[in-house]
Chain A
Amino acid sequence: MNSATVRSLLVRGMLAGLGAGLLALVVAYLLGEPRVDAAIAYEDAHSAGEPAMEIVSRTLQSTAGLATGVLIYGVSLGGIAALAYCFALGRVGRFSPRATAALLSGVALVAVYVVPFLKYPANPPSVGDPETIGKRTTLYFLMMALSVLLAVAAVIVGKRLAPRLGTWYATVVAVLGFAVAVGLAYAFLPAVNEVPEDFSATLLWQFRLAALAIQLTLWTSFGLLFGHLAERLLNPKPVTSAVRETSSDPAPETAASAS
């Protein structure tokens, strides 16, 4: 277990992130793009005077542009998650490499996306005052950093408490502590509500659900793909897995059925 293992895991994390990003891209294109288009139609109908000049055409934005964004995001987060996995492996409890990957992906989904999303949800075009972009960006990244740090702290605290309280209650206390700390952050950080008066509530809801579905796809498929690769790397012997591998290559199918 050395530097070479870290490199192998990092490469697998980025590959799994690419695969997960591809699946998330499909969801983004099918569920997300119709809502982005509808929001832009609202924007054009309500903007006074000149329609915004297009630097990049809508067709490119919704295909190649979207793919660039989602895939870079997937590969980057996959790599970072793999590095976090190197720290977590063998330290969070008696979990197999695959189970550790699944656990890490679940925690990452909550800490990196869901917690910041509940305070500062994703917004479609035409929601949000351009004047406040600086403030909103700062708050969003602050919430994300805070949430990740709190999640790491909760894992460490839970680990420390485990010998005294037992694994179950140590986990309960750590999760409760995380929830209370996140609640305090929600209470003290300023709210952002810049939805235009007559913007369709249905459209806003559908857009945000689509945004959530993208992340759910990304992290679920990352957990399954990376878990599969990590298990094969770290635990290559088991007889059962050899049988499964010859019958079919499970990687793409596993991920597809999960999304």
Chain B
Amino acid sequence: MAHPIATATPAAPAITPISVKAILPWAVFFGILLMALIYFVGAEQGATSLISGEDVHEWVHDGRHLLGFPCH
């Protein structure tokens, strides 16, 4: 109790890190899946089109502008 720092440290005991081996399968699979979702919100039917037409672009149009992606 003599030092303010000493009272602050015990509140945050060292946390054992999660092993990289346990994280990796989740990170790869969901990383790709979630980035694909962001692609559909941010860029599909703009610079590149996987689906023909402009329906996706027009539907997320306002979100794309306001989230900072180049839109058209």
Number of residue pairs A-B, CB distance < 8 angstroms:
173
* CB-CB under 8 A for A1 and B26, given A80-B31, A123-B70: no
- Are B35 and A80 touching (Cβ within 8 A)? yes
The residues of B that contact A182 with a CB separation of less than 8 Å are none
Interface presence of A170 (CB below 8 A):
no
Chain A 134-176 interface residues, beta-carbon cutoff 8 Å to B: 134, 136-138, 140-141
**A-side interface mostly:** helix
- Are B68 and A5 touching (Cβ within 8 A)? no
- Are A3 and B22 touching (Cβ within 8 A)? yes
Contact with A along B26-57 (1 / 0, CB 8 A): 11001100110110111100111000001100
Task: Out of A86, A122, A130, name the residue touching B68 (CB < 8 Å).
Answer: A122
Interface residues, chain B, with chain A CB atoms under 8 Å away? 9, 11-20, 22-23, 25-27, 30-31, 34-35, 37-38, 40-43, 46-48, 54-55, 58-72
Interface residues, chain A, with chain B CB atoms under 8 Å away? 1-3, 5-7, 10, 28, 32-33, 36, 55-56, 60-62, 65-70, 72-73, 75-77, 79-80, 83, 86-87, 89-91, 94-97, 99, 113, 116-117, 120-125, 128, 130, 133-134, 136-138, 140-141, 210-211, 214-215, 234
